[in-house]
């Protein structure tokens, strides 16, 4: 079956530091890959997506590249801000109606 594995948190960084949150997946076929973010007190929001190999999704300074050869979709940001503090979820959709999520990684950014 499908599964998503992402790095354990919390990840604690100082403002302007470089961020990487690792995500690897197992899936049948050619899934679409997503990063969702949950800010405190809010619902899950789509951060970025990639639908085929070598696609790069980007939004709000975050990027992730769909690597089929390593089955990975690592999230990166060059310079984090305090407002990026949130829980980040990697997810995939392999053509059915449901999403398969990872466990989530909490990011804490201090001034």
Partner 1 sequence: EAGVTQFPSHSVIEKGQTVTLRCDPISGHDNLYWYRRVMGKEIKFLLHFVKESKQDESGMPNNRFLAERTGGTYSTLKVQPAELEDSGVYFCASSQENGRGEKLFFGSGTQLSVL
* Residue 24 burial class via C-beta count within 10 angstroms: exposed 0-12, middle 13-18, buried 19 and up: middle
Residue 43 in contact with partner 1, rule: CB under 8 A: yes
Give the contact letters, 5-34, x = binds to partner 1 (CB under 8 A), - = no.
---------------------------x-x
d(CA 111, CA 102): 28
Q: How far is the CB of 75 from partner 1 (least distance, A)?
A: 15
Q: Does 99 bind partner 1 (CB under 8 A)?
A: yes
Tell me the C-alpha distance between 99 and 92, whole Å: 6
- Which range touches partner 1 (CB under 8 A), out of 20-28, 63-71, 75-83, 91-99? 91-99
Q: Which stretch binds partner 1 (CB under 8 A): 20-28, 61-69, 73-81, 99-107?
A: 99-107
The CA distance from 92 to 83, in Å, is 25
Is residue 96 exposed (0-12), middle (13-18) or buried (19+ Cβ within 10 Å)?
exposed
Using CB under 8 A, which of the segments 17-25, 58-66, 67-75, 86-94 binds partner 1?
A: 86-94
């Amino acid at each position: 079956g499908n599964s998503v594995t992402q790095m354990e948190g919390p990840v604690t960084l100082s403002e302007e530091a470089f961020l990487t949150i690792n995500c690897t997946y197992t899936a049948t076929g050619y899934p679409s890959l997503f990063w969702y973010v949950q800010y405190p007190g809010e619902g899950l929001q789509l951060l970025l997506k990639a639908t085929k190999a070598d696609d790069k999704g980007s939004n709000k300074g975050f990027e992730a590249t769909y690597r089929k050869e390593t089955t990975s979709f690592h999230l990166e940001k060059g310079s984090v801000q305090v407002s990026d503090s949130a829980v980040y979820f990697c997810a995939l959709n392999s053509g059915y109606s449901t999403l398969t999520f990872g466990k989530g990684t909490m990011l804490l950014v201090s001034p």
